């Protein structure tokens, strides 16, 4: 799994003109899944995300996590995170998991994140054409790949 995590002061997801998710302070997570991702990737990534100290403390130092900050999270599926751009000008998405593999992992990740954070997670819609709006706070943007756990 590959995740692009952005600390936001606000974010939203709109599908066909209807806002389906919106948060104030928190994280916008773009999540890409490959076919060999597994449940240990889900728990590791969720734990890392919930405990990552990227929010400012009283002195303005990034010492607090999303849990400490009581922030919210939006998770958006994004297969294009696994684009291969080595050859030519048209990205290849062959590494991205097919929906029959990706959807159950995506849903399991959201459930794990809800459990770890202790509150509901907002989402986009898997496979939909979405408009994602955000105000990146900091800016803080971090990329995590579960293939680089060690």
CA dihedral 24, 63, 140, 92 (to 10 degrees): -100
- Catalytic hit among 10, 14, 39, 79: 79
Please report which residue ranges of the chain form alpha helices under DSSP H: 39-51, 66-69, 99-117
Stated as kind and residue range, the H or E segment containing 108 is: helix 99-117
**Of 6, 78, 123, 146, which residue is the catalytic one?**
78
Say whether 6 is catalytic: no
Between CA 123 and CA 21 the distance in angstroms is: 6
Alpha carbon distance 3, 112 (integer Å): 15
Q: Could you say which DSSP state residue 68 is in?
A: H
**Strand pairing category for 122-123 and 72-77:** parallel
- DSSP helix/strand/coil, 19: strand
Per the annotation, the verdict on 141 as an active-site residue is no
Instruction: Respond yes or no: is residue 14 known to be catalytic.
Output: no
Length of the chain (residues): 150
- Return the active site residues: 78-80
């Amino acid at each position: 799994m590959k995740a692009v995590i952005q600390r936001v002061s606000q974010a939203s997801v709109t599908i066909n003109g209807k806002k389906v998710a919106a948060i104030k302070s928190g994280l916008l997570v773009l999540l890409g899944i490959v076919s060999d991702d597994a449940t240990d990737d889900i728990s590791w990534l969720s734990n890392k995300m919930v405990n990552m100290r990227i929010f400012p403390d009283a002195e303005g130092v990034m010492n607090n996590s999303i849990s400490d900050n009581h922030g919210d999270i939006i998770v958006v599926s994004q297969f294009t995170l696994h684009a291969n751009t080595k050859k030519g000008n048209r990205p290849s998405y062959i590494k991205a998991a097919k929906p029959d593999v990706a959807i159950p992992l995506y849903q399991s990740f959201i459930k794990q994140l809800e459990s770890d954070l202790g509150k509901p997670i907002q989402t986009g819609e898997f496979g939909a054409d979405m408009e994602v709006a955000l105000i990146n706070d900091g800016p803080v943007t971090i990329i995590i790949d579960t293939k680089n756990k060690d």
